A and B are shown apart, each in its own frame.
Chain A
């Protein structure tokens, strides 16, 4: 199985900060990487697909990037509505595997 190691597991940041969350894949997954946002009591929401593509309706302050086996989700200027848990997902191989999640809180 492909392991997705996500870091940090939690972080606190201030409004307006630039925030980066990372997932490292244990095997080559190409660009088959998505990022999801989940708020309490809600279903996950796809934010990024294909490692770098912004999903429909997602604010442009969100972006995705790749450097080798490291995939990053960046929020350029943090807003209060961005407080949530973020997960990565690899979709190149079965079983599909998620990262452990990053809880983003307001400092």
Chain B
């Protein structure tokens, strides 16, 4: 069974960084890119970027190039996204999904608040 298990909710201070994870199981981790998607409360879906776990190659949406950093650890079948210089605009749920878009993580709610 394919599973994408994401880390837990985060409450973080403005200006700080946060790193969230997405652990894959049930398939060969390096066979699929991993995409990340942002959803602000009551808003639509926004694509952040993707990583190729096989070689670490990344592609980002322009507006996230200085906000998000995607990495992957083949030894633990885990993809990560670090978000930096957090502001209230980063308060959102973040999803990981493999490149066939058929399996999604449960989402991580990141709340930026002082």
Question: Which residues of A come within 8 Å of B, CB atoms?
Answer: 34, 36, 38, 43-46, 49, 55-56, 87, 89, 91, 94-101
Contact = CB atoms under 8 A, between A and B. Distances in A.
A91 B47 CA distance: 11
B89 interface: no
Nearest to A96: B47
Interface of B: 35, 37, 44-47, 50, 59-62, 95, 97, 100-102, 104-107
Contacts of B45: 36, 38, 44, 87, 89, 98, 101
Contact of A43 (B35, B59, B61, B105): B105
Contacts of A95: 47, 59-62
A36, A91, A95, A99, most chain B CB atoms within 10 A: A95
Nearest to A101: B44
A2 to B, nearest CB: 11
A64 B44 CA distance: 21
Nearest to A98: B45
Given A44-B45, A99-B44, A101-B45, 19 more contacts: A36-B45, A38-B45, A43-B95, A43-B97, A44-B95, A44-B97, A44-B104, A49-B100, A49-B102, A55-B102, A89-B101, A91-B101, A94-B59, A95-B59, A95-B60, A95-B61, A98-B45, A98-B46, A98-B47
